[in-house]
Structures are given as C-alpha cells and as structure tokens.
Amino acid sequence: MTALVSPAATVPVVRRPRAGIVVLAAFAAVPAMLALWTAVRAPRGHVLLDYWHVLAKITDDQGHLLLGQVFTYHLDQPFVIPSLLFYADAAWFGGDNRVLTVLTVVLVAGIGVCLYSMLPRSLSPQRKAALAAGMSWLLFSSHLAEIWLQGTNGISWIPAVFFSVLAAAQAHRGRLWTAAAAALLASLSFGAGLPAFFVVAAIFLLRHENRAKTVAMAAAGTIVLAGWLLTKPSGAQSLATTALDPDGRLSAAAAALGSVWSGDQAVIAVLAGALTTPTATPGKPPHTPEPDPSPSTRYSAAASTASTTPSLHPSDRETGTFVGFPAQLGNASGIPAIAV
C-alpha cells in the first residue's frame, strides 16, 4: 500500500530573516543615516574658493556655460564631471551646498553597493551582512565628514571613486561596454579615476576573459594616461597646494593682510602685510569681549564673502589666473576664517 504524502510537506518552508542579519543591516545603516543627516543640515552657502574658481572659468559674464572650458584642467587634473555638477547646482538650485552634500552621500552609498555586489557568492548571508556593516562604517567614517559638510570637497573627487568602483563591479561580471563607460566617466572626473581602465583590464585578465577585451582596456588606459601627461599644464592651476612651502604660505598670509594697501601689486601687498602683521592683533580689553556669533550667522557671512569673489577677466580664462590676485586672495583667506 502506497503511503500518501501530505500536501503540507510539499510546500516550501519560507524562512524568516535571521535576527543577526537584521541587526547587522540596521548597524550598517547607522553611519549612512548619520552622514545623510549631516549633509541635509550642512550650510547652504559654498565657502570654498574652488567652487567659485571653477564657476568663473566655465561660465561667461552672463552665466552661460562655456563647454570648451569644462574640458580644461583643475588642480592639474581632469574635472569635467565635477564642473558640470557645479554648474548644475548653480543654475538649477541657486548654488545650494546641500544639494552637493546629499549627492556625495548618495555616491558613497553607491560605492558600498558596488563593493557588496562583488562579494563571493560562497559567503554565507551572515558574513555578507557583517562585511556590509564593516564597509558602511569605513565609507561613512566621521573622519570623512568634511566631504558631506562642504559639497565642493565631496563632488571634487567622490564621482571619480564611484565610477572607478562601478567599472570594477561591471568588469567583475564580464560586462565590457558598461565597464568601459564607467571607466571613461571616472577618467573625466578627477585624477583618482585615471587608472580605471587598467583596473578593468586587470580584472578581465584575472577572469580569463577574451584577450581582446583585456588588451583593449589596457590600450584605452594607456591612451588616457598619455593624453593627460601630454596635455596637462605645467603651472599650478589653483591657489591650493599640498606642498609644505613655508615661505609661500607666509607670503600668501602677508599678501592677504596687505591687500588693503595694494589691490594689484603682489609685492607691495606682501611688504605691507609684513609691516602690518605686528600691529594686526593688539589684543582686546577684558571688559569688552565680542559675542560669539551663531553658526548660522558665521556660515551666512562666509557665503556672502565667497559670493563677492570677482570672476576671471576674459583674457585670463585660458590660463586660469585671477584679476587683482592679492585682493581676491584677501577675500579667499577670510572665507575659512569666518566659517570657523
């Protein structure tokens, strides 16, 4: 006699997510939510000079986009994608810093998603959740809070990192065209994205993909790198520098102080600043302390100061030099001081 199988036995058992995975997922969401909350509450005004420098370079006197200037270098590196994002923020949102800070958080989250997608399938769900939590806390570390407090910092280089990781994730799946498109966008974003084609080529090589794919991506990377080396300007493209340069920094500080006495002669500004420095901080009487302005007041003042930075003269657009350099340097040096 054949035994009858109960219909309930043939119904697949639906397992509920384990409590550990849910806890790890919530743990991973904590730093992302904190970063987003910080980005939303960031000041509205842009207080970094790079934002205004790029806008002055890529727009004419009527505020129209100069597409040719978008493909020029900033800080000796490609800056196409950030330049377009800066222009979109200024044209569509009135130069709202919070738009770029929130976009930065979204792109960092996208980096985490791309990294998670490359985890081996052999890993258990618990290990994947634990790794996702670790990546989230590393990516949204409070050490990087400046990139979602000032969107100029974040949008300057986070798109390059995002598109590079996206290219790697697409190459991880053997997708040639999407990986190549992401690598191209990375190389147009910032110097951090220039090796993206080589990363894709290396992944194709490790995956034993068609040799033509690997050679094509390596050749594209060589063309991008060689093109950058041959076309990048030899001089500095911004007031920013990573060098120690103590004499240069002292000269800049003296020029900022002396720009009151000379708006077009840097040497006179530096000399006047050096003579003014000993008397610039005479000290305040203890009975007349100045009230500490609220953070909103400080940021509003910083945005107002930044908005008064003069644009580039048409004759200086190609070289990226400022008109009245010492006077503008005085304005620029006051921006971070007011923000602090």
**pLDDT for res 255:** 67
Q: What is the pLDDT of residue 61?
A: 87
Total count of domains within the chain: 2
What are residue 207's phi and psi, to 5 degrees?
-85, 0
Which domain does 261 fall in, by range? Answer: 246-278+293-339
pLDDT score for 202: 95
Q: How far apart are CA 39 and CA 107, in angstroms?
A: 13
Q: Residue 247: name the closest of 278, 275, 274 by CA.
A: 274
pLDDT of residue 256: 67
Query: Is residue 195 in a domain?
Result: yes
The answer on 40 and 90 residing in a single domain is yes
| 193 and 269 co-located in one domain | no
158 domain residue, yes or no: yes
DSSP letter string over 260-284?
A: TT-SS-HHHHHHHHHHHHHHH----
pLDDT at 266: 66
Q: Do residues 226 and 250 share a domain?
A: no
Is residue 236 assigned to a domain? Answer: no
Tell whether 260 is covered by a domain.
yes
- The answer to whether residues 166 and 68 belong to one domain is yes
In a domain, 140, yes or no: yes
Same domain, residue pair 31 and 90? yes
Query: Taking each helix axis from N to C terminus, what angle separates 325-339 and 246-258, rounded to the nearest 10 degrees?
Result: 100
10-residue stretch averages of pLDDT, the chain, 340 residues long = 52 62 91 93 88 91 90 90 95 92 95 94 91 93 84 92 96 94 96 94 93 94 93 64 63 66 63 66 50 43 42 38 35 34
> Is the same domain home to 142 and 30?
yes
Number of H helices, E strands in the chain: 15, 0
Residue 2 forms part of a structural domain? no
Residue 141: what pLDDT? 86
- Is 12 a member of any domain? no
Q: Which of 116, 128, 115 is nearest to 20 (CA)?
A: 128
From first CA to last CA, the distance across the chain in angstroms is 87
Question: Does residue 285 fall inside a structural domain?
Answer: no
